[in-house]
Structure 1
Amino acid sequence: MPETVPSRGLDPLGFIEREGTHARVPHLFRPVVAAARDRLLDAFGARLDSAYLYGSIPRGTARPGHSDLDLVAVLREEPADADRDAARALGEAVDKEFPQIDGVGTLLYSRARVLSEVERYDIGWFVACQCTPLLGEDLAEFLPRYRLDSLLARETNGDLARLLPRWRERIAAAGDTEEALRPLVRFMSRHLVRTGFTLVMPRWNGWTSDLREMAEAFAGYYPERAGQLRRAAESGYEPVGDRAVLRSYVDDLGPWLAAEYARMHGVKAPRPEGWD
Structure 2
Amino acid sequence: MISNGLDEDGYIAREGSPDRVPAEFAPVVDAARERIATAFGPARLHSAYLYGSIPRGTAIPGVSDLDLLLALHREPTPDDHAEADALEATLDSAFPQIKGVGVLLFGTDTLLSELERYDLGWFVACLCTPLLGEDLAEQLPRYRPTSLLARETNGDLALALPRWRERLAAATPNSAAPDAIAPDADLAALSRAVSRRLVRTGFTLVMPRWNGWTSDLTASAEAFAVHYPDRAEQMRLAAAVARTPTIDRAVLAVLIDDLAPWLAAEYTAVHGEKAPRP
- Structure 2 residue 52 is the aligned partner of structure 1 residue 39: no
Q: Which has the higher contact order (CA 8 A, sep 6+)?
A: 1
Cα shift readout 1:202-261 (whole Å, capped 9, x = no counterpart): 001111110010000000000111111111111111112233333322211110000000
Mean Cα displacement is larger for which, 173-182 or 185-194? Answer: 173-182
Counterpart in the other structure of 1:30? 26
CA distance in 1, matches of 2:191, 2:35: 29
- Structure 2 residue 27 is the aligned partner of structure 1 residue 21: no
- Structure 2 residue 204 is the aligned partner of structure 1 residue 198: yes
Quote the offset at 1:170 in angstroms. Answer: 2.9
RMSD between aligned residues: 1.5
Larger radius of gyration: 2
- Structure 2 residue 230 is the aligned partner of structure 1 residue 233: no
Structure 1: tracts of 5 or more residues without a match: 1-5
Counterpart in the other structure of 2:59? 62
CA distance in 2, matches of 1:61, 1:36: 18
CA distance in 2, matches of 1:179, 1:192: 20
Sequence identity, in percent?
Answer: 66
Quote the offset at 1:77 in angstroms. Answer: 1.1
TM-score, reference length from structure 2:
0.93
The amino acid that maps onto 2:67 is: D
Q: In the alignment, is the contact (CA less than 8 A) between 1:182 and 1:239 conserved in 2?
A: yes
CA distance in 2, matches of 1:117, 1:218: 29
Counterpart in the other structure of 2:101? 104
Quote the offset at 1:96 in angstroms. Answer: 1.0
CA distance in 2, matches of 1:108, 1:169: 26
Superposed, which structure 2 residues align to 1:32-181 within 5 Å? Answer: 32-45=28-41, 46-174=43-171, 176-181=182-187
Superposed, which structure 2 residues align to 1:206-217 within 5 Å? Answer: 206-217=212-223
CA distance in 2, matches of 1:244, 1:84: 35
Structure 2: tracts of 5 or more residues without a match: 172-180
CA distance in 2, matches of 1:60, 1:95: 19
Quote the offset at 1:142 in angstroms. Answer: 0.4
The amino acid that maps onto 1:26 is: P
TM-score, reference length from structure 1:
0.93
CA distance in 2, matches of 1:265, 1:152: 9
> Residue 185 of structure 1: which of 182, 191, 195 is its match?
191
> Residue 6 of structure 2: which of 10, 23, 26 is its match?
10
CA distance in 2, matches of 1:84, 1:231: 35
Quote the offset at 1:80 in angstroms. Answer: 1.8
Moved beyond 4 Å, runs of 4+: none
- DSSP-derived class of the 1:220 partner: helix
Q: In the alignment, is the contact (CA less than 8 A) between 2:234 and 2:255 conserved in 1?
A: no
Cα shift readout 1:20-74 (whole Å, capped 9, x = no counterpart): 1001000000001111112212222220111100010000000111111110011
The amino acid that maps onto 1:16 is: I
The amino acid that maps onto 2:53 is: S
Counterpart in the other structure of 1:3? none
Q: In the alignment, is the contact (CA less than 8 A) between 1:7 and 1:14 conserved in 2?
A: no
The amino acid that maps onto 1:255 is: P
- DSSP-derived class of the 2:131 partner: strand
- Structure 2 residue 250 is the aligned partner of structure 1 residue 244: yes
